[in-house]
Structure 1
Amino acid sequence: MKTIASWLSVTFLGLVLGGCSAVGAGSGGAGETEIRSGKIEQITLTQMQTNHDSGVGAILGGIGGLALGSLVGQGTGRDVAMVAGALAGGVGGNYIEKKKYDQPVDAQQIVVRTHSGVLVQVTQPINPALAKGMNVYVEGTGNEARVVPQS
């Protein structure tokens, strides 16, 4: 029975750690970044959701639950308590991490008209150096796009 509990613990830990891997993280090497230039047409204050789903809360909660479960009983009951404690701790740790760190942050939605006439909208953390009518660069694409002032 200890072998089954050991395999369940190893499997659970593997699943939790596998959930921490980045999906679509790219090649990791130096790459090209698209830079467009234009003029800010509109700035609107808004909020954006952060993304702090690192999985650390689930891992620490799972380890804590596993440790507490190992203190309960002996034999098969202890093995079941360890697995249940690890699962409950993982869920609880993930919940606490999201509640504490996934709070919306103030942001600005910026509309830039590029020199080619295309409108580009970017939502990013507030940059007080930006103002309507300012010449700017739009660096990057997708979720990684940022508006920065031209020097």
Structure 2
Amino acid sequence: MSLRTFAGPALAVLFTLLLSACQTTTPGSMQGAVEVRSGVIEQITDVQISNTKTRGLGAVVGGALGLGVGSLIGGGTGRDVAMVLGTIGGAVTGNAVQRRNQEPIPGQDIIVRLTNGVLVSVTQEPTNLRVGQKVFIQGQGEDARVTPAK
């Protein structure tokens, strides 16, 4: 089998990966009820949050672009080799470019004592919250957010 036989399916897989890497979820898209807990802020610590929301996207985009450029070079087996090398080179270059642009962002680690006495830590982007303030914790896991109680 020649490399040309794999070029179509490889392009389809790269395109699918590219689309799935771009997919995002929004808080409003969650189905079902979201637990809301209440408490008082015990401590707020400034931290750096790693910016990894688009990890892998650079490699996928670079690989797809490399495949496209490689398909423009030569013909026959030489073209197939150029497409494979373009895909690999583009993926490596795209990943390197993306890593350079993923600097940490400022954040806060907020410790909340819930009304039942349990301590909960939530890391999020900076807000105007203060120690001793009554708050709600909305959501859970990475989607949890601390908001002021009204």
* Fold equivalence (TM over 0.5): yes
Which runs of 5 or more residues in structure 1 are unaligned? none
Moved more, 4-13 or 72-81: 4-13
8 Å contact from structure 2 (residues 137, 147) kept in 1: yes
Q: Secondary structure at the match of 1:89?
A: helix
Q: Secondary structure at the match of 1:147?
A: strand
Q: Which residue of 1 aligns with 2:119?
A: 119
Q: Distance in 1 between matches of 2:90 and 2:5?
A: 17
Q: Distance in 1 between matches of 2:12 and 2:93?
A: 15
Superposed CA deviations along residues 28-76 of structure 1, whole A, max 9, x for unmatched, are: 5522111111100100101111223265433432232123323433321
Spell out the pairing of 1:1-151 with structure 2 (5 A cutoff): 4-15=3-14, 17-18=16-17, 21=20, 29-53=30-54, 55-100=56-101, 102-127=102-127, 129-151=128-150
8 Å contact from structure 1 (residues 66, 82) kept in 2: yes
Q: Secondary structure at the match of 2:116?
A: coil
Count of matched residue positions in the alignment of Structure 1 and Structure 2: 145
TM-score normalised to structure 2 length: 0.81
Classify 1:103/1:48 alpha carbon distance in 2 versus 1 (closer, same or farther; 3 Å).
same
Which residue identity is paired with 1:61?
Answer: G
Among all aligned residue pairs of Structure 1 and Structure 2, give the percentage whose two residues are the same amino acid.
Answer: 42
Moved more, 61-70 or 3-12: 3-12
Moved more, 77-86 or 45-54: 45-54
Q: Secondary structure at the match of 1:21?
A: helix
Which residue identity is paired with 2:97?
Answer: I
User: Moved runs in structure 1, 4+ residues, more than 6 A?
Assistant: none
8 Å contact from structure 2 (residues 58, 95) kept in 1: yes
| Alignment RMSD (CA, Å) | 2.6
Which runs of 5 or more residues in structure 2 are unaligned? none
Classify 1:139/1:108 alpha carbon distance in 2 versus 1 (closer, same or farther; 3 Å).
same
